[in-house]
Amino acid sequence: MSSATSIDNPDQVPPAIFLMGPTASGKTGLAVELAQRFPVELISVDSALVYRDMNIGTAKPDAATLARAPHHLIDIISPTEAYSAAQFCNDALRLMADITARGKIPLLVGGTMLYFKALEGGLSDLPQADPELRKQLEEQAKIHGWPALHSELSKIDPETAARIEPADAQRIQRALEVYKLTGMSMSQHFSNTIGQPSLPYRLMKLALLPSDRAVLHARIAERFEAMLKQGLVDEVRRLRETYPLSLSMPSMRCVGYRQAWEFIEGNLDSTRLREKGIAATRQLAKRQMTWLRSMQGIDVLDCLFEDLPSRITDSLDQFLAHK
């Protein structure tokens, strides 16, 4: 899928802003502040925030925050549904066109790096799911475990394996499926998108990264502990009562939710719930930073700076002055 149209005159290309970063880096807070200072509309780039009724574990902006700075693509599907990168691209491109037509600038904020990559560079033509092959992979996982299949993936496609944690059944299965069906790794498929027409916007790509990773880890621990105090486990109980969910669904594989599910099932005690939740969040942040380091043309900001909006106001003014 290509996300582009041709623009003959580059001066007519409208501006758009990407605001990216690992979890707990302060993306939402910065985006909300920028929305008070600049004529932007926010589009969420987060594969967990799309789900309704999943609020605590996703760190979804509260009602007061959304009143100050509304976000598109939050609360758009049920936790029983799936939402692909292709769906995101279609929705985001439609919203970006609408925002631009209103004389505003799209500001896309979030941590789902695959969505950013797909939107900017397009999606390669990946094969459709093969039920028989998926069943075979699931049978292998029952015998050997998903970490063993992750190890197999790391030999075939180390680049993709580095972005997937060893227990992420959905992504491991899909990456192995793509390789077995096509003989090409997922990363090779993504590299085939190079040369496709680019996103028809003049981009400013901002990346929030910590100068001290230990501080980010401390933030992650504090935030997960706060989620537990706010009632993450009770939220998962309510979700299980409200929807016909299973742990294999993408929504319940979100960080925090699968650990809370295991706690409810009696497979974890409260100490292990906290430990595993924090560890999984740190792994997510590591994968997000790996994505960011591989991206071209980004302006890196230290997410530990006290007043990020003031630090980037001049550069944003200059960028938007050329719209």
Do the Cβ atoms of 220 and 278 come closer than 8 Å? Answer: yes
Q: Are residues 179 and 279 in the same domain?
A: no
Residue 205 lies in a domain: yes
What proportion of the chain, given as a percentage, has pLDDT over 70?
A: 93
Same domain flag for 89 and 215: yes
Q: Give backbone dihedrals phi and psi of 83, rounded to 5 degrees, phi first.
A: -140, 115
Give dist(CA 274, CA 256) in Å, integer.
9
- Distance of CA 168 to CAs 70, 105, 110, 172, Å? 31, 35, 20, 6
pLDDT exceeds cutoff 80 at 323: no
My answer on whether 233 and 281 are in the same domain is yes
Does residue 6 lie within any of the structural domains? Answer: no
pLDDT of 302 reads 95
Whether residues 119 and 219 share a domain: the answer is yes
Q: Which string of b and e fits 192-224 if b means at least 16 CB within 10 Å?
A: ebeeeebbbbbbbbbbbbbeeeeebbebbbeeb
Residue with the bigger pLDDT between 8 and 229: it is 229
What mean pLDDT comes out for the span 27-43? 96
Q: pLDDT per residue over 104-148, tens digit each?
A: 999 999 999 989 999 998 876 777 788 888 889 999 999 999 999
Range of the domain at 157: 131-191
Last residue of a domain, one of 161, 191, 221: 191
Judge if 288 and 208 occupy the same domain: yes
pLDDT range class, residue 165, cuts 50, 70, 90 = confident
* pLDDT at 169 exceeding the cut of 60: yes
In a domain, 202, yes or no: yes
Average pLDDT value for residue range 256-272 = 97
List, in sequence order, every beta strand (DSSP E) within the chain: 15-20, 40-45, 71-72, 105-110, 202-209, 298-302
The answer on 207 and 276 residing in a single domain is yes
Q: What is the pLDDT of residue 4?
A: 36
Residue 86 forms part of a structural domain: yes
Q: What is the pLDDT of residues 210-250, one digit of tens each?
A: 999 999 999 999 999 999 999 999 999 999 999 999 988 88
CATH number, domain with residue 106:
3.40.50.300
Average pLDDT, the chain: 90
Q: Are residues 172 and 210 in the same domain?
A: no
Q: Structure pTM?
A: 0.82
**Which has the higher per-residue pLDDT, 112 or 188?**
112
Is 211 found in the same domain as 89?
yes
159-173: b or e for each residue (b if 16 or more CB lie within 10 Å)? ebbebbbbebbebbb
* CA pair distance 54, 113, nearest whole angstrom: 20
Q: Is residue 144 part of a domain?
A: yes
**Whether residues 203 and 64 fall in one domain:** yes
Residue 1 lies in a domain: no
pLDDT at position 192, please?
Answer: 66
> Final residue of a domain: which of 146, 161, 191?
191
Say if residue 62 is in the same domain as residue 201.
yes
Are residue 103 and residue 245 in the same domain, yes or no? yes
Domain membership flag for residue 220: yes
Our measurement of the distance from residue 72's CA atom to the centroid of its chain's CA atoms, rounded to an integer in Å, reads: 15
- pLDDT band for 8, please (50, 70, 90 cuts): very low
Task: Identify the CATH number of the domain in which residue 166 sits.
Answer: 1.10.20.140
Residue 5 in domain: no
Looking at the 3D structure of the chain, how many domains does it have? 2
CA distance 172 to 149: 7
- 293 lies in the same domain as 187: no
Among 172, 191, 210, the domain-final residue is 191
Q: What is the pLDDT of residue 308?
A: 86
SS (H, E, C) 215-260: HHHHHHHHHHHHHHHHCHHHHHHHHHHHCCCCCCCHHHHCCCHHHH
Instruction: Classify 156 as helix, strand or coil.
Output: helix
